[in-house]
Structure formats: C-alpha cells, structure tokens
C-alpha cells in the first residue's frame, strides 16, 4: 500500500513521542513545536534547493509591458521567490527561449534572432526586488515572460497543514527527528531540568545524524539522464 503524506498534527504527535517521558510536559506547547519545526523546515528547504533537482521550482508568467520613456523594464519579483532557475521569453505560438543574464559590466544591449525574423529576446539582470529586461520591450504582449523560480514554501501552522507536494516523502521522518533534537536544545538553553533528558537525547541525536547523512546523498540526483557535451581538444 502506498505511503501517504501526514498532516502536521500527526508529525507533532510523533515529535512528542520521541521526547519520551517529558513529551507531555506543558513546556512543549503547540506553538513552540511549530516554531521549531518551521525553523528546521527552512534549513532543509535550502538544502533541497542547493542540489538543483527542482524540488521547489514553480513557474510564474507575466505580461510584457512597455515602460515609460527613459524608464527600465522592471518587474517586481514575487515575494515568495527564492532563487531563479530560468527566465524565458514566451511567444504566442507557445515556443519559449531562455534568456541570458547580463549585468552589462561591458558592452551594450543586444537583441537575439529567432526563426529568421527579428524577435524580442532581451537579456535580464536583477536589481533589488526587481527583474530588469534590457532592452525594454517595444510592444506589450500578454504572457510574454516566464520565470521559473525556487519558491519559499508556506509555514506549517494548522493541524491540517502538509509539507509541499514536491518534497521527498522521507523528509517527514528527518524533520521529526530534527524538531525533537531542537526541542531538547531549547530545553537545555532554558535550564529546564529533566532527569531523562540525556538518556533520551543521546540515541535520538545518533538517529538524526544517520538520517541526515543518508538524506543529503539521496537528494543529489532526482532523475537519471544523459548530458551531451562538445569534446575539447588541444592543438590541431
């Protein structure tokens, strides 16, 4: 039978079971455990994005808009955007062309060619909260720009919240271990005395470290494929 994703209520209950006899202590409030879980979740999200396997990639489509004369073609980056994977020029026939990032440290603006006809294929650069196209479009076009970006996922807050659908299911187990370990760290920092703390935490840390090491190796490759490259030869 296929394994199903579990809501936050079930994951929190598992965290409290891992805390052992102190799991029912009023010190471990729902709000505290949620805060710890979200902090660990943010860390694991950065690790997922760092392997560039598309775990958190979402597409955002917007219109090409002609800016006022003398103004840059600046597009506000969505607040939930993390890092950019690709920026593409979309055409009405459905075709797409990846744009090149050009910080214009030297040289000027250039236009690309597509299918023998002069087409608007600009470069782009990032400026603060904006993506800037250069040169700016001369005519407006609906849905003419597509951004593929790594998305910062929503925080886990209510009992029915789930981890993002594109994330590995196994990450639930690692985050439960992460959160339980973080909970003991907070307890130690608050100087809350527990006679069973060391007995419970020592094997828990060992389990978390083994799980983490295997997980970081496991997410490095999400799909198998062949990449073609041009051979480089020295000399004639």
Give the containing element (helix H, strand E) for 142: strand 141-151
Residue 17 shares a structural domain with residue 92? no
Residue 134 shares a structural domain with residue 171? no
Residue 144 shares a structural domain with residue 62? yes
Burial track 71-89 (b if 16+ CB lie within 10 A, e otherwise): eebbbebeeebbebbebbb
Residue 87 shares a structural domain with residue 46? no
pLDDT digit string (tens) for the chain, length 236 residues: 788 999 999 999 999 999 887 667 777 899 999 999 999 999 899 889 888 888 888 898 999 999 998 888 999 888 888 788 899 999 988 899 999 988 776 655 555 444 434 488 999 988 888 999 999 998 999 999 999 988 889 999 999 999 999 999 999 999 999 999 888 877 665 555 455 556 556 666 776 787 788 778 867 765 555 555 566 666 65
**Is the residue at 109 inside a domain?**
yes
Residue 45 shares a structural domain with residue 113? no
**Is the residue at 231 inside a domain?**
no
**Is the residue at 18 inside a domain?**
yes
Cα 147 from Cα 218, distance rounded (Å): 28
62 neighbors 145 (Cβ within 8 angstroms):
yes
Hey, how many other C-beta atoms are within 10 angstroms of the C-beta on 56?
Answer: 20
Residue 107 shares a structural domain with residue 163? no
Q: Tokens 């001369």 identify what position?
A: 138
**Is the residue at 234 inside a domain?**
no
Residue 186 shares a structural domain with residue 214? yes
**Is the residue at 227 inside a domain?**
no
Q: pTM to 2 decimals?
A: 0.74
Hey, how many other C-beta atoms are within 10 angstroms of the C-beta on 152?
Answer: 17
**Is the residue at 110 inside a domain?**
yes
Residue 162 shares a structural domain with residue 140? no
CA angle 117, 122, 128 (to 5 degrees): 165
Please state the domain count of the chain: 2
Residue 74 shares a structural domain with residue 89? yes
Residue 65 shares a structural domain with residue 147? yes
**Is the residue at 112 inside a domain?**
yes
Domain that holds residue 113: 57-151
Residue 96 shares a structural domain with residue 182? no
Residue 38 shares a structural domain with residue 113? no
């Amino acid at each position: 039978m296929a394994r199903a994703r579990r809501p936050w209520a079930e994951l929190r209950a598992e965290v409290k079971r891992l805390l052992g006899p102190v799991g029912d202590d009023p010190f471990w409030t729902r709000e505290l455990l949620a805060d710890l879980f979200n902090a660990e979740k943010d860390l694991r999200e950065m690790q997922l994005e760092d392997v560039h396997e598309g775990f958190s990639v979402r597409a955002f489509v917007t219109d090409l808009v002609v800016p006022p004369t003398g103004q840059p073609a600046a597009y506000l980056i969505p607040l939930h955007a993390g890092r950019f994977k690709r920026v593409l020029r979309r055409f009405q026939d459905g075709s797409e062309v990846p744009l090149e990032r050009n910080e214009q440290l030297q040289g000027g603006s250039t236009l690309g060619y597509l299918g023998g006809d002069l087409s608007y294929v600009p470069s782009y650069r990032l400026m603060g909260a904006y993506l800037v196209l250069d040169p700016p479009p001369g005519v407006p076009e609906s849905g003419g720009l597509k951004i593929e970006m790594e998305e910062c996922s929503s925080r886990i807050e209510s009992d029915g919240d789930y981890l993002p659908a594109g994330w590995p299911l196994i990450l639930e187990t690692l985050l439960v271990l992460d959160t339980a370990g973080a909970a003991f760290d907070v307890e130690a920092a608050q100087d809350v005395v527990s006679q069973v703390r060391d007995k419970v935490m020592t094997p828990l840390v060992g389990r978390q470290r083994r799980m983490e090491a295997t997980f970081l190796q496991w997410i490095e490759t999400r799909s198998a494929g062949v990449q073609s490259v041009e051979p480089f030869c020295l000399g004639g």
